[in-house]
Amino acid sequence: MKTETYQAVEWLDDRLMIIDQTRLPQHEIYLELADHHQVAEAIKSLKVRGAPAIGVAAAYGIALGAQRIETSDRDEFVNQYRSIAAEIAATRPTARNLFMAVERLNAVVDRTDEIIAAKEALVTEAKKIHTEEIEATRRIAEYGAVLIKEGDTVLTHCNTGPLATTGRGTALGVIIEAHRQGKTIQVLATETRPLCQGARLTTWELKKEHIPFRLITDSMAGHFLKDT
């Protein structure tokens, strides 16, 4: 069966598109974010979530905001840029990828004198962060899939797939890669209360990949581990 493709975060013609993860699994809705305020709100409201995906969205959000700055004075450009970066940085204080992205884009502005060049370089750096995330998760998935054997049952908690990373995924990416290699496996996915990322998002991604799974309550994990 053909895998259904989707992009959690995507840069298209100087605008940012995301899947609204708060509407999954019932509705697969894509949002176009027109400015950095909307990107900040999307991160805070969990429309985009998962540390790697947050980092990518944050980078694009800052780059998007910088494109809207209208001034020919570099000092004023930098002041407005710092305000944009600070707003994005304040969205999720626990997401390390977010701050790594902010630091990298700050460095771009610090080393670029011309405003037009800085705007272009910010978009380039954001795309680079995205590409690096895709490549990192590809390698994680391929290396990790070796550990999964034919007939294995794998227990998951929360959501660590493409929705959370913009790439193949980390832990769930390993499972997806093993399945794509033709291994017969099944997944036990915990609900992950209170936000139910497992019940809403992991099961949605497993369905997209046609991977057999059973949804279990969080408290059942110990029972299944005991029986392994």
7-18 pLDDT, tens digit each: 999 999 889 999
| Average pLDDT value over all residues in the chain | 96
pLDDT confidence of residue 183: 98
The CA distance from 42 to 36, in Å, is 10
- CATH fold of 9-139 reads Four Helix Bundle (Hemerythrin (Met), subunit A) (1.20.120)
Alpha-helical segments (H) within the chain: 36-44, 51-67, 74-89, 96-111, 115-145, 162-165, 171-180, 197, 203-209, 221-226
d(CA 218, CA 207): 20
Predicted local confidence at residue 117, as pLDDT: 98
pLDDT tens string 193-221: 999 999 999 999 999 999 999 999 999 99
Strand 213-216 with 186-190, pairing: parallel
Q: Sorting pLDDT into bands at 50, 70 and 90, what band is 129?
A: very high
> Across-strand partners of 31?
18
In the chain, CATH 3.40.50.10470 covers 144-226
- pLDDT at residue 13 in the model: 83
Residue with tokens 């409201």: 45
> Is the predicted pLDDT of residue 1 greater than 80, yes or no?
no
What digits encode the pLDDT tens for the residues 53-91?
999 999 999 999 999 999 999 999 999 999 999 999 999
Given pLDDT bands bounded at 50, 70 and 90, which one contains residue 93? confident
CATH class of 144-226: alpha beta
